[in-house]
Amino acid sequence: MKILVCISPVPDTTTKIAFTDNNTQFNTQGVTMVINPYDEWYALVRALELKESGAATAVHLVTVGKADAEAVIRKALALGGDEAIRIDTDSNDPYAIAAQIAAYAKAEQYDLVLCGKETIDYNNGAVGAMLADQLDYNYIGFATKLEAAGGSATVTREIEGGEEVDTCPLPLVVSCQKGMAEARIPNMRGIMAARTKPLKVVAPATVDTLTQIVSYEMPPAKTGVKMFTIDQMDELVAALHNEAKVI
């Protein structure tokens, strides 16, 4: 079984977000990019576990991005991926990203494609389903467990109020979330090996872009906090009624 894992670079969660060009562009100056946690902790690690168990023969990584994304995908290689592919273009449109990955993956005949349920920057959660449509693969989303062998997969996914267990023939696209695997840290051997593992750069396909970000807006600044002591109940009630207007 041959597995493809989709890797997306995202800003580190400690990054101070800022925008430029009249709030139309994300300011990447001084920003540290990391692997999207859902892609790394769940999709990639589960793919590696399947390979270690003998269920998979190869784990390939793919990202859509320019040269500055290579440090992130090298880290993914350090965790244990066999080789990586960087599609040399940049986009924040889910359809365009899915179409770029599909254009490459169609010729490679992957049995299983894994991605995180969403990225922590745009939170669209749409690439997995769009990719399955582009590849004409089956799709299961929001998976918490995955077993694959003998040309089929058994997937557990969250539903409202419980869990659902599905079986599905391969090829298959699965979007992964918490519960799929436990996070790993690259060891020194993996870091050294990642330097020589193949990282192939491919030209982007000609695809449509369906959405365009018009502007960004920062959340409103936090207001001050009023403190009341236990003997100020009348003042608290008055503040909730007159200022907060919640009673």
Which pLDDT value is given to residue 223? 77
Q: 128 lies in a domain?
A: yes
Which pLDDT value is given to residue 80? 94
Single pTM value for the model: 0.87
Query: For the chain, how many structural domains are there in total?
Result: 1
Instruction: Write down the number of H helices and E strands in the chain.
Output: 7, 13
Span 35-50, pLDDT tens digits: 999 999 999 999 999 9
Q: Which domain holds residue 151?
A: 2-219
Which pLDDT value is given to residue 244? 83
Q: 16 lies in a domain?
A: yes
What CATH number is given to the structural domain containing 60? Answer: 3.40.50.620
Span 223-244, pLDDT tens digits: 778 899 999 999 999 999 998 8
Q: 241 lies in a domain?
A: no
Q: 33 lies in a domain?
A: yes
Q: 234 lies in a domain?
A: no
Cβ within 8 Å of residue 135, ≥6 positions away: 102, 105, 106, 113, 171, 173
Q: 168 lies in a domain?
A: yes
User: CA separation (Å) from 34 to 20, 31, 69, 105?
Assistant: 21, 10, 9, 24
Omega within 30 of 0 (cis) for the link into 171? yes
Q: 54 lies in a domain?
A: yes
The one-character DSSP state at 111 is S
The one-character DSSP state at 40 is I
First to last CA, the chain: 60
Question: By three-state DSSP, how is residue 131 classified?
Answer: helix
Which pLDDT value is given to residue 221? 81
Q: Which residue type is seen at 8?
A: S
What are the residue ranges in the chain where pLDDT is below 70?
none
User: How would DSSP label each residue in 68-89?
Assistant: GGHHHHHHHHHHT-SEEEEES-
Dist CA 108 CA 104 (whole Å): 7
Q: 71 lies in a domain?
A: yes
